[in-house]
């Protein structure tokens, strides 16, 4: 999330410009167990902005140690 926010900031964007997010998780159960703490961190970084979101369980991510990969699409006004 911090990386996404940094990329947005480099383009004069803010978290509220995110219109869609896809979360790729390697362990659905672990994700659901941590959902409350994930939500807390999400709100700290994103505020009360909730774009369309999808979570997908995948067998692996390219980075071996990664458990979550987040893809975000933002529309930054001119």
Cβ-contact 2, 42 below 8 angstroms: no
Task: List the domain boundaries for the chain.
Answer: 2-74
- What are residue 38's phi and psi, to 5 degrees? -60, -45
pLDDT at 78: 86
Q: Can you list the residues of the chain whose pLDDT is less than 70?
A: none
pTM of the model: 0.89
Q: Quick one: fold of 2-74?
A: 60s Ribosomal Protein L30; Chain: A; (3.30.1330)
């Amino acid at each position: 999330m911090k990386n996404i926010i940094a990329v947005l900031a480099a383009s004069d964007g803010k978290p509220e410009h995110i219109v869609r997010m896809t979360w790729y998780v390697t362990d659905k159960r672990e994700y659901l167990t941590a959902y409350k703490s994930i939500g807390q961190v999400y709100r700290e970084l994103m505020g009360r902005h909730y774009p369309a979101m999808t979570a997908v369980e995948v067998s692996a991510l390219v980075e071996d140690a990664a458990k979550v990969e987040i893809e975000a699409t933002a529309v930054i006004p001119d």
